[in-house]
């Protein structure tokens, strides 16, 4: 009820916002008798249709073989450029998540799950962890989505199957692949506000026993925009440009019951590092260069798999006029990793499915810091091994699943930090009471070793601490699904509780420095609800609401304020309207319209609740026009109300109204 009151108070205090919401929903929800295409899950029609509908029909719990009762959501990523969006935009629509943006399109953004911080998330691509050597966690804003088909968001206990380091959740990036036969070419162009432009291309080749997908893209943005500061003054964001390029290939080969997949990706970019809005002049020449190169080879059999992979991620920060000294400052952080993972599954009788998974990782962290007064270098290595076993016990004619797993991990750091966790248990249950009713619950114990940058990083304003302890976590959730996949009404709801000891945060050590520290702990609890409604064959509505109470634990028992950067209430509402048949078989153009509303309650900007950013409402609208089976166009309008007082957790201002136009060309043979 408090969430509803907060939302209504915000809306009625801004008459223009309420009117705009009503107009958006009325305009985009009007029924029309038009025929539609099946959703993105219909793989049989993939070569015959172009999907324009943007409803996230995949945003439902997906069973992961390692921990089937966990709550996992899949989101498609291949059409992001057609909507003027990045991976961060797609992730922001998932219940239980919140994306902390730092600026406009293509700039840094970090994913938070269930009140945790972005460092408490593991990102996985084909069995290879994609860690970042410096920063506030994996950057979902900068990553280019070419060569990816979808992303799975594993929340809470579901993420324990990905190992230590994921007390809040995990993200698995799923690779796209070419068809086994024929040739397919796709090209996309996108341009819009803030001097933004991007180009993407894909070439798929298949010969009957395998296929090769080649992909690449470049994007650019001038990035500068106007914002309103805390005094109500209009100012200009500067040094906010970015350029980025990426390319890669994924090939697969079928041989009897065996499949081999080889992937290589390279991505690099440069971005201005504008710094806090109060000190823009000190960061006018600051910038970050980064590059990531990786390769993976995966084998899959009937009941087994194995993956070997390696990557290198490098990040350079330079400021010709240092923030504190006015003198040049330069630092370089590089993390190189190699990993080997594998597993088997065995059916034991008619009621048990047993899995055994093992992995080993080696990581090398290198850092250089240069100022006129000093030059420092650091090299640190970490070796990690893990073994996990899980069993799914099927009961009552498979209407009930009992899941138990145990994981053992060991890591060794050549700086003297060893970690051995012999017993990390997890348990879950699924009750399939009816075709339209499913219940599930999970609990797990996990932990997270400090990242290299939390231990060793040193920049102008941030310092690590070599004496940090690992975080300990106990996580649990429970929920239900109501409705079947083809029902007009589909509901998903759940509650969660996370308790983390020795929480690691970067806290102020002086007026201009932040240092990594262990705190007593933190607790996060909340609720997640998502609803899909198909009004008819042409109109559907998706709504998602997340309540999160995230706070630091205090020994005095007082109720502390909400953690910084964590809204207590978040609401997402989206509607899709298929105006006209857009099947390629139709000789008339197809048209689909969409509208969306995003609301978040006020957020704290410090640990004491003294600095706050007001509640924010964002309205978006868009359209997709299918001219033929080879050509479609898109229009996306973001932040229709031109709200320019929103800031991120670091008080970086966010962009106002924006417009993006896109075009996709496709050919098959």
List, for residues 531-584, the tens digit of each pLDDT value. 999 998 889 999 999 999 999 887 666 778 898 889 999 999 999 998 866 554
Indicate if the pLDDT at residue 32 is higher than 70.
no
Closest CA to 59 of 528, 517, 426, 668: 528
- Cα gap 441→626, rounded to integer Å: 43
- Cα gap 480→475, rounded to integer Å: 18
Indicate if the pLDDT at residue 24 is higher than 50.
no
Indicate if the pLDDT at residue 55 is higher than 50.
no
- Cα gap 259→405, rounded to integer Å: 27
Which tokens go with 138?
Answer: 């994996």
CA of 325: how far to CAs of 244, 262, 281, 440, 506, in Å? Answer: 30, 48, 13, 56, 22
On whether the CB atoms of residues 617 and 643 are closer than 8 A, the answer is yes
- pLDDT score of 519: 84
- pLDDT score of 516: 86
Please give the DSSP secondary-structure letter assigned to residue 6. H
Which tokens go with 618?
Answer: 């964002």
On whether the CB atoms of residues 454 and 134 are closer than 8 A, the answer is no
CA dihedral (60, 63, 64, 70) in degrees, to 10, reads 80
> How far is C-alpha 435 from the geometric centre of its chain's CA atoms?
30
Name the helix (H) or strand (E) containing 90: helix 87-91
CATH superfamily of 2-668: TonB-dependent receptor, beta-barrel domain (2.40.170.20)
Torsion sign (Cα): 173, 176, 177, 179: positive
- Cα gap 80→619, rounded to integer Å: 18
First to last CA, the chain: 56
- Cα gap 237→460, rounded to integer Å: 21
Indicate if the pLDDT at residue 8 is higher than 50.
no
DSSP string for residues in 468-498: PPPEEEEEEEEEEEES-TTSSEEEEEEEEEE
Domain boundaries, the chain: 2-668
Indicate if the pLDDT at residue 33 is higher than 50.
no
pLDDT in tens, 403-438: 999 999 999 987 667 888 999 999 999 999 998 999
DSSP string for residues in 329-356: EEEEEEEEEEEEEEEEEEEETTTEEEEE
Q: Rounded mean pLDDT of the chain?
A: 84
- Cα gap 43→57, rounded to integer Å: 14
Which tokens go with 417?
Answer: 């930090």
pLDDT in tens, 633-652: 999 999 999 988 887 766 77
Residue with tokens 């319209």: 593
**Segment among 102-106, 220-224, 322-326, 623-627 with least mean pLDDT:** 322-326
Residue with tokens 């991120």: 648
The more confidently predicted of residues 80 and 270 is 270
Instruction: Provide the 10 A C-beta neighbour count for residue 208.
Output: 9
Mean pLDDT calculated for residue range 138-165: 90
For the chain, percent helix, then strand, then coil, each to nearest 5? 10, 55, 35
On whether the CB atoms of residues 274 and 280 are closer than 8 A, the answer is yes
- pLDDT score of 557: 62
Burial class of residue 349, CB neighbours in 10 A (0-12, 13-18, 19+): exposed
- pLDDT score of 154: 94
For residue 125, give the 3-state DSSP assignment.
Answer: strand
The partner residues of 220 in beta bridges, in order of sequence, read 197, 243
């Amino acid at each position: 009820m408090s969430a509803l009151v907060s939302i209504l108070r915000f809306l009625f205090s801004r008459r223009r916002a309420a009117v705009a919401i009503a107009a958006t929903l009325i305009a985009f929800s009007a029924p029309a008798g038009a025929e539609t295409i099946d959703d993105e899950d219909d793989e049989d029609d993939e070569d015959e249709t172009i999907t324009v509908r943007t409803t996230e029909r995949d945003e439902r719990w997906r069973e992961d073989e390692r921990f089937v009762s966990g709550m996992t959501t899949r989101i498609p990523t291949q059409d992001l450029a057609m909507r003027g969006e990045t991976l961060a935009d797609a992730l922001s629509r998932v219940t239980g998540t919140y994306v902390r943006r730092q600026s406009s399109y293509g700039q840094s953004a970090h994913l938070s799950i269930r009140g945790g911080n972005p460092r408490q998330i593991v990102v996985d691509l084909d069995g290879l962890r994609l860690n970042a050597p410096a920063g506030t966690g994996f950057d979902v804003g900068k990553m280019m989505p070419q060569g990816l088909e979808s992303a799975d968001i594993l929340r809470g206990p579901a993420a324990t199957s990905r190992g230590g380091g994921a007390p809040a959740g995990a993200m698995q990036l799923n690779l796209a692949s070419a068809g086994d036969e024929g040739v397919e070419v796709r090209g996309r162009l996108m341009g819009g506000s803030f001097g933004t432009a991007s180009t993407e291309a894909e070439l798929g080749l298949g010969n009957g026993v395998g296929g090769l997908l080649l992909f690449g893209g470049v994007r650019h943005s001038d990035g500068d925009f106007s914002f309103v500061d805390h005094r109500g003054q209009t100012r200009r964001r500067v040094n906010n440009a970015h350029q980025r390029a990426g390319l890669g290939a994924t090939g697969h080969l079928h041989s009897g019951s065996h499949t081999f997949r080889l992937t290589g990706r390279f991505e690099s970019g440069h971005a201005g590092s504008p710094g806090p809005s109060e000190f823009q002049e000190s960061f006018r020449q600051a910038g970050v260069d980064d590059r990531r190169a990786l390769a993976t080879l995966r084998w899959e059999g009937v009941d087994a798999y194995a993956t070997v992979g390696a990557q290198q991620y490098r990040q350079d920060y330079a400021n010709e006029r240092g923030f504190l000294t006015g003198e040049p400052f330069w630092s370089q952080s590089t993390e190189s990793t190699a990993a080997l993972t594998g597993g088997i599954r065995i059916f034991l009788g008619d009621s048990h499915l047993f899995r055994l998974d093992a992995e080993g990782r080696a990581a090398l962290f290198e850092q250089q810091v240069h100022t006129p007064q000093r030059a420092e270098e650091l090299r640190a290595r970490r070796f990690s091994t893990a073994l996990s076993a899980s069993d799914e016990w099927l009961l009552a004619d498979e209407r009930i699943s009992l899941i138990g797993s145990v994981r053992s991990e060991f890591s060794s750091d050549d700086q003297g930090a060893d970690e051995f966790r012999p017993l990390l248990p997890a348990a879950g249950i699924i009750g399939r009471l009816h075709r339209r009713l499913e219940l599930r619950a999970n609990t797990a114990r996990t932990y997270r070793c400090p990242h290299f940058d939390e231990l060793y990083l040193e920049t102008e304003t941030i310092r690590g601490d070599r004496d940090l302890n690992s975080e300990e976590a106990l996580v649990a959730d429970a929920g239900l699904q109501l409705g079947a996949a083809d029902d007009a009404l589909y509901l998903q709801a759940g509650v969660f509780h996370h308790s983390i000891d020795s929480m690691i945060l970067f806290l102020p050590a002086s007026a201009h420095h932040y240092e990594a520290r262990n705190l007593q702990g933190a607790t996060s609890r909340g609720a997640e609800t998502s609803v899909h409604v198909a009004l008819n064959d042409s109109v559907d509505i998706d709504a998602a609401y997340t309540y999160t109470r995230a706070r630091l634990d205090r020994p005095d028992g007082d109720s502390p304020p909400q953690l910084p950067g964590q809204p207590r209430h978040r609401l997402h509402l989206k509607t899709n309207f298929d105006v006209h048949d857009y099947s390629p078989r139709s000789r008339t153009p197809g048209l689909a319209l969409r509208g969306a509303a995003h609301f978040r309650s006020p957020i704290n900007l410090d640990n004491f609740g003294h600095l706050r950013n007001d509640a924010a409402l964002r309205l978006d609208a868009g359209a997709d026009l299918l001219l033929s089976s080879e050509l479609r166009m898109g229009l996306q309008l973001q932040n229709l109300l031109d709200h320019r007082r929103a800031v991120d957790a670091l008080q970086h201002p966010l962009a106002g109204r924006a417009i993006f136009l896109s075009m996709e060309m496709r050919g098959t043979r």
